[in-house]
Amino acid sequence: MAGEYTLAVDFGSTYTKIAAFDLEQETLIGVAKSPTTVMTDIMEGLTAALDILGEQLGSRPAYGAKLACSSAAGGLRMVTVGLVPELTAEAATKAALGAGAKVVRVFSYELNASEIGEIEAIRPDIILLTGGTDGGDQRVIKKNAAMLAKSAVTAPIVAAGNKAAADEVYATLKDGGKDVTVTANVMPDIGVLNVEKVQEVLRSLFIEKIVDAKGLKRAELFVDRILMPTPTAVLNAIGLLAQGTATGPGLGEVLAVDIGGATTDVYSAATGLPHSSELIPKGLQDPFLKRTVEGDIGMRYSIDGIVEAGGIAAIARDCGLELAAVEAYIAKIKQDLATVPATAGEMGIEAALARAAVDTATERHAGRVDNVYTPMGKVMTLQGKDLSALPTVIGTGGAIVCSSQPRRVLEKACFIGAKPFSLRPRQPRFYVDSHYILFAVGLLATVAPEKALRIGVKYLRKV
Amino acid sequence: MKTVVTGVVGLDAHIVGNKILQKAMEDIGLKVVGLGALTPAEQFIKVAVETNADAIVISSLYGHAEMDCQGFRDKCLEAGLKDIRLYIGGMLTVGDCDFGEVERRFKALGFDRVYPPTVKIQDFLNELKADLGVD
């Protein structure tokens, strides 16, 4: 309808962020945020954000479509269960991460009583149960289903293992009074990752059950529906920006880094095929849309992890300050997580910390080469995605968006001679999500992909 | 359907013979999981666990298979693969060596059948079929 704006809402773990768009004009009207109020009433934070935006615009506008995603109340917390750690357990974890989940714990082989106790204590939102390729092992997944069936676990269980065991797994869990959904095997064959079906199921469970279970349902009095976890919205946006649509070209393959206070997420929309025929791929393939989460890398809660990974001396060198000054600022952050940098020196330390975060998180996300010396000479193997030729790096999250030197921070996502085995982009262009709207682009893509693409490209700032 | 895990063990990149073997085993109606070249011994075992394999068929051409396969049967037992059948073939040692001696050494590592580089594929397939009870 003419004159109506489209609203995108992210019920984040800390802030409820909103962005209003005029889809006709393909423009961003405004953004606002207010602390998320999940403990009392989720609507309070949203209403406050809407009021702030209303003030900016002079009056509270009429909204047509109201789309939302959420990572509030702990996000989508999942436990994955597989058979062999490097095979189905790894495949299940990749599928869960790609569905926007926070994977709290990964189990493999047969679950024992204390592990069941652990799952009960974790109280995950969803359990992903896998094991066995199609036609492969059935014994372990059946055993694990039986263990879960007689446990006190109440979370929905998604069974995505050996199809030959699926019926029995379903019946066992159903008899145990569990909420179970069976879907296609996440690893139907060795080396084959089949994440789409599992992710579809996870997404509909999120919409139908998790939103309600987390007390977010009241938000749906105002927004049309909480459609997906926030990381999924961002991953959707990255995929759209990379691939474009039938009528509009994208930016080519994309690597995106989101540095948060507690975690750093890295997303790639890339095939990751080896750039040289001399690289022999090994291990489980990665999906085109890949997300990794570094739980130990964050600018506030997880600052210790950054310091440990980057090294305090190297961080001090990087910002050109005395070690004591850097240590003092980090101590200040740890004392007050709401610390914001006030001086040029503190801005410099923040940038150096962000650089270390980007370096560590992208190194863990990107594929790596290993030199193997054989009697026939040197052979190179590739594990994961080769991102060498990837043309586009996007940064988001306060530590990049608010940085005085975003390009310097993002350059740490690139290949460097000192770490030749990490296949990161060699000569990408750099963009910043300066309005913090990647989540919104991912949400808009569900209703108007062409417009979402053009809006997404338009509001990225090249740095 | 019987499942066989195959590949070239260790730091050996000679994949051609193993690819032919893979095709031949598929042609007699086996489900074949091919791991390719440069496959660590442990990877055969992990994949056999996940796929509930009936046999592991290892190729090696570079002469160092004995080193690569130390304790192979023991590792299978440790991983819970009680009844899996183990096959290995190719240039299994460096230089001239009496094949009887080679066979003895690899049987001591737990392989059920050991083949010289000159074995005819058909002969191997016949024995494999008989062992697995495939027509």
The tens digit of pLDDT for each residue in A282-325 reads 877 899 999 999 989 999 999 999 999 999 999 999 999 999 99
- Sign of torsion, CA A306 A307 A310 A315? positive
Helix, strand, coil shares of chain A, percent, nearest 5, are: 40, 25, 35
- B62 falls within a domain: no
The residues near A374 (Cβ < 8 Å, ≥ 6 apart) are B11, B12, B13, B38, B62
Quote the percentage of chain A above a pLDDT of 70. 99
Rounded Cα–Cα distance for residues B131 and A360 (Å):
51
**In whole angstroms, how far apart are CA A361 and each of A357, A388, B109?**
6, 16, 43
Instruction: At A24, list the tokens.
Output: 């006709």
Domain definitions of chain A by residue range: 5-72+218-223, 76-210, 235-300+352-462
Instruction: At A225, list the tokens.
Output: 């529906």
Protein fold of A235-300+352-462: Nucleotidyltransferase; domain 5 (3.30.420)
- Partner B contacted by A375 (CB < 8 A): yes
Tell me the nearest-neighbour CA distance from B100 into chain A, angstroms: 25
- How confident is the model at residue A377, as a pLDDT? 76
Nearest by CB to residue A136, choosing from B35, B52, B64, is: B52
The band of A221, judged by pLDDT with boundaries at 50, 70 and 90, is confident
- How confident is the model at residue A298, as a pLDDT? 93
Rounded Cα–Cα distance for residues A111 and A120 (Å):
12
CATH number assigned to the domain with residue range A76-210, chosen from the 4 options 3.40.50.300, 3.90.1150.10, 3.40.640.10, 3.40.50.2300: 3.40.50.2300
pLDDT at A1 over 70: no
Nearest CA in chain B to A140: B50
Name the domain count of chain B: 1
Tell me the nearest-neighbour CA distance from A76 into chain B, angstroms: 28
Rounded Cα–Cα distance for residues A443 and A455 (Å):
12
Q: How far apart are the first and last CA of chain B?
A: 11
- B61 falls within a domain: no
pLDDT at A212 over 60: yes
CB contact under 8 A, A135 and B31: yes
Tell me the one-letter amino acid at B74. Answer: D
Instruction: At A383, list the tokens.
Output: 């594990």
> How much is the average pLDDT of A133-148?
95
Query: Pick from B17, B51, B11: which is nearest to B31 by CA?
Result: B51
Residues of B marked as catalytic: 12, 14
Mutation for A interface: B5, B11, B52, B60, most A CBs within 10 A: B52
Largest CA distance in chain A: 75
**CA count, 13 A, side-chain hemisphere, A327:** 6
The CATH superfamily label for domain A5-72+218-223 reads 2-keto-3-deoxy-galactonokinase, substrate binding domain (3.30.420.300)
Helices (H), A214-338: 230-243, 303-310, 312-319, 323-335
CB contact under 8 A, B12 and A87: no
Task: Return the SS3 of A432.
Answer: strand
Please state whether the predicted TM-score (pTM) of the whole model is above 0.80.
yes
CB contact under 8 A, A135 and B47: no
Domain of B106, in residue numbers: 3-7+18-55+71-132
- B66 falls within a domain: no
Give pLDDT tens digits for A395-416.
Answer: 999 899 989 899 999 999 999 9
For helices A139-149 and A163-175, the axis angle rounded to 10 degrees is 10
pLDDT at B96 over 80: no
Helices (H), A311-437: 312-319, 323-335, 344-365, 398-401, 406-410
Nearest by CB to residue A135, choosing from B1, B12, B64, is: B1
pLDDT at A215 over 90: no
CB contact under 8 A, A136 and B3: yes
pLDDT at A178 over 70: yes
Q: What is the CATH number of the domain that holds B106?
A: 3.40.50.280
- How confident is the model at residue A3, as a pLDDT? 64
> How much is the average pLDDT of B55-81?
92
**What does the DSSP assignment read for A348-360?**
HHHHHHHHHHHHH
Q: For residue B63, list chain A residues with Cβ-Cβ distance below 8 A.
A: 375
Query: Pick from A300, A308, A317: which is nearest to A259 by CA?
Result: A300
CB contact under 8 A, B46 and A138: no
Comparison of pLDDT for B79 and A351, the residue scoring more: A351
- A263 close to A295: Cβ distance less than 8 angstroms: yes
Mutation for B interface: A109, A139, A142, A282, most B CBs within 10 A: A282
The band of A2, judged by pLDDT with boundaries at 50, 70 and 90, is very low
Strand order in the sheet with A101-107: A101-107, A76-81, A126-129, A157-159, A180-182
The band of A392, judged by pLDDT with boundaries at 50, 70 and 90, is very high
Rounded Cα–Cα distance for residues A197 and A161 (Å):
12
CB-CB neighbours of A323 under 10 Å: 12
Place of tokens 């879960």: A148
Query: Pick from B126, B129, B69, B121: which is nearest to B93 by CA?
Result: B69
**In whole angstroms, how far apart are CA A351 and each of A42, A345, A355, A367, A461?**
33, 10, 6, 25, 18
CB contact under 8 A, A280 and B36: yes
- B30 close to B57: Cβ distance less than 8 angstroms: no
- How confident is the model at residue A389, as a pLDDT? 96
Instruction: At A43, list the tokens.
Output: 């609507």
Q: For residue A84, list chain B residues with Cβ-Cβ distance below 8 A.
A: 46-47, 49-50
Query: Pick from A253, A256, A231: which is nearest to A242 by CA?
Result: A253
The band of A200, judged by pLDDT with boundaries at 50, 70 and 90, is very high
Tell me the nearest-neighbour CA distance from B33 into chain A, angstroms: 7
Beta-carbon pairs below 8 A across chains A and B? 65
Q: For residue B49, list chain A residues with Cβ-Cβ distance below 8 A.
A: 83-84, 137
CB contact under 8 A, A84 and B51: no
Query: Pick from A273, A212, A204, A209: which is nearest to A232 by CA?
Result: A204
DSSP A209: I
**Arithmetic mean of pLDDT over chain A:** 94
Q: Do domains A5-72+218-223 and A76-210 have the same CATH topology?
A: no
DSSP A192: B
